[in-house]
Each structure stands twice: as C-alpha cells, then as structure tokens.
C-alpha cells in the first residue's frame, strides 16, 4: 500500500514546542466542564393540556453568550427557550441556560471569537438538546428533539450583517 502522506511525518514538530525556559507557546483549546446553569420547566395547564388534540405551535429561541473568567478561561452560555402553544393555551415552557468552561491558551483573538461563538456552542448543543428533551418528557409530553443548528453559518451570517450595517451607517448614527 502506497504511503499517501503520513500526517505525523509531515508535521514540523519543532513548531510550537516549549521554549528553553519551559514556557509552552503552542496553541491549545479544551473544555474544562459543562453544566446546567439554569433550567425552568413550566406546565401551566396540566392536567388539561394532556387532553388537547390540536397540534401545538412551537417557538424556539436561542442565544449565545461568552465571557472571560480568567486569562485562559472563558464561559460559553447557550440559552434555549422552547414554548408549546395551542389555541387552548400554553402546554409547556422550557428555558435552559447551558454553560461550558473553555480553556484557551495562545489563541489569537481572530480565532478565539469564532470558537467561542460558533464552534463551542456547536459542541455544547447535543448535551443541551438532551436536557431539553428530558425536561419536556418529564413534564408529561413527548420529548422535544431539537433539530441540529448550523452555528458556524449563523455566526458568519451575523458577521456579514454587522459588516453591511457598518457600511450603511459608517458614523454609527441612529
């Protein structure tokens, strides 16, 4: 079998190696932990809502926040709100704030920002999705299985939108 490029042998292992003084200058990113920061489940019309035959209308909102906790530690927070309503009323409301602690070392800002607002939420989402599904099931309804979200696409669309707004309003006038 022909060697089509051994990734290990093609790497320059001297790049990013620790300096003579022991300082590690290689870039690194990793999750320290993930956790439910806040979870609220409301079932305001139970037990009547269990008898409603009408297909509910679902409203799903989400928001991403990130903040620096220390020189190399950031918190990414994924907020998701799911509301199920029919003409008879609200079946349930689930609100989740799901957090992750991210360690980042030697990452330039132009790479850290997309990681914190696109890639980290993408990695946290399956776990937050599971918490939502379990919460809805535990409220007495069929589990809510949220569709995957293209966080990278949303991130770049938001950057494009901000760039267009800056061009349309260069002085920041209202």
Tell me the C-alpha distance between 76 and 101, whole Å: 6
Q: What is the pLDDT of residues 69-88, one digit of tens each?
A: 998 999 999 999 999 999 99
Q: Report pTM.
A: 0.78
Tell me the C-alpha distance between 109 and 125, whole Å: 23
The CATH number of the structural domain formed by 27-145 is 3.10.420.10
Higher pLDDT among residues 170 and 65, named by residue: 65
- Residue boundaries of the structural domains of the chain: 27-145
What are the angstrom distances between the C-alpha of 106 and each of 3, 27, 29, 69, 70? 33, 5, 9, 16, 14
């Amino acid at each position: 079998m022909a060697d089509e490029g051994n990734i290990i042998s093609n790497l320059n292992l001297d790049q990013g190696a620790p300096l003579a003084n022991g300082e590690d200058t290689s870039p690194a990113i990793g999750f320290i932990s993930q956790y439910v920061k806040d979870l609220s489940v409301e079932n305001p019309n139970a037990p009547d809502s269990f008898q409603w035959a009408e297909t509910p209308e679902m409203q799903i909102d989400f928001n991403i926040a990130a903040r620096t906790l220390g020189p190399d530690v950031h918190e990414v927070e994924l907020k998701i709100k799911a509301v199920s309503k029919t003409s008879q009323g609200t079946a349930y409301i689930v609100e989740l704030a799901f957090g992750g602690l991210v360690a980042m070392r030697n990452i330039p800002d132009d790479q850290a920002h997309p990681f914190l607002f696109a890639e980290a939420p993408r990695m946290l989402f399956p776990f937050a999705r599971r918490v939502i599904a379990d919460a809805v099931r535990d409220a007495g309804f069929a589990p809510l299985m949220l569709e995957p979200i293209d966080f990278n696409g949303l991130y770049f669309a938001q950057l494009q939108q901000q760039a267009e707004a800056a061009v349309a309003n260069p002085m920041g006038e209202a």
